[in-house]
Amino acid sequence: MSVLRVLIADDEPLANKRLAKLLDTVGEIEIVGQVTNGQEALDAIGRSRPDLAFLDIEMPRLDGFDVVEALGRQNQAETPPLFVFVTAFPDFAARAFDTGAADFLSKPVRFSRLHDAVLRARSALHARDAERRLSELQSELSSLRSLQEDSGHMPDLWVRQGKGIIRVDLGEIERVEAEGGYVRLHGEQRSYLQQGPIGTFLENEAADCFIRVHRSHAVRADRVRAVTRNSWGGSVLEMQSGELVPVGRKYRDRLGKIYATD
């Protein structure tokens, strides 16, 4: 569990001290600031970048709601903290949640409710962090795909080998073949065994370069040297390696994709 960085803003010194003591009991909390008015809260948020801010609603100069509104206007923090409003007047609860607050606590704050508020804040922060990381990953993947398209490099595939996994360059794989509950990837120098049916392998985005030509076989179209017929009149693919791959009757329509590469 990561340490939660917390700011407390309350114009009542005793309430401020009591909340800090309760938070210390919760554990895994670092109090990065204790301020007594809304303007100080704004300054502390910009300076300390807390994960969570407990704001008393009734404060001089700027109240708790004013702090949130000012923060939105000024864009002081790239990633604003979550807010928990604290007040002696429960009638503010509806407005507090309308602002998007993580929680609302009534004075005197009870430990059980404070503990629940911290848990809720942690969950929200984890969800926000996961969303941010996913967004960054998607952006990075888009850049990598563009680079891949520009370079013409085939994607890589991770294959389990012994007690670990190894990276396989699909550009070196000529064909794949079903082998029981596995798929055999036939490369230029060696072959690799990957667990799972051939259909699942071909659903992988990295495997878009393969064309399924048989219940048990799929090939790289650009590695087909010739299309011939066997003694029974069935179609057979001769690969650049010299290997022969049968074409299933229900897959004969796929041959057009292979001819199109010539």
* Interatomic CA distance for residues 49 and 89, integer angstroms: 28
One fold for both 4-132 and 156-259? Answer: no
Domain edges within the chain: 4-132, 156-259
Q: Is the CB of residue 251 less than 8 Å from the CB of residue 218? A: no
Question: Would you say 218 and 176 are in contact if contact means Cβ atoms under 8 Å apart?
Answer: yes
**pLDDT tens string 108-133:** 899 999 999 999 888 888 887 766 66
What is the value of pTM for the model shown?
0.51
Residue 231 to residue 254: CA distance in whole angstroms: 21
Measured CA to CA in angstroms, residue 112 lies from 25, 116, 117, 118, 132 at distances of 11, 6, 9, 10, 30
Provide the 10 A C-beta neighbour count for residue 196.
13
What superfamily in CATH does domain 156-259 come from? Answer: LytTr DNA-binding domain (2.40.50.1020)
d(CA 95, CA 250): 64
Q: Which two tokens stand for residue 193?
A: 């065994």
Amino acid residing at 2: S
What CATH homologous superfamily does 4-132 map to?
Response regulator (3.40.50.2300)
pLDDT tens for residues 231-258? 777 889 999 999 999 998 888 888 777 7
HEC profile of 182-213: EEEEEECCCEEEEECCHHHHHHCHHHCCEEEE
Find the farthest-apart pair of alpha carbons in the chain and give their distance in angstroms, rounded. 95
Each residue's pLDDT tens digit, 159-210: 777 667 788 887 889 999 999 888 999 988 888 888 888 988 888 766 778 8
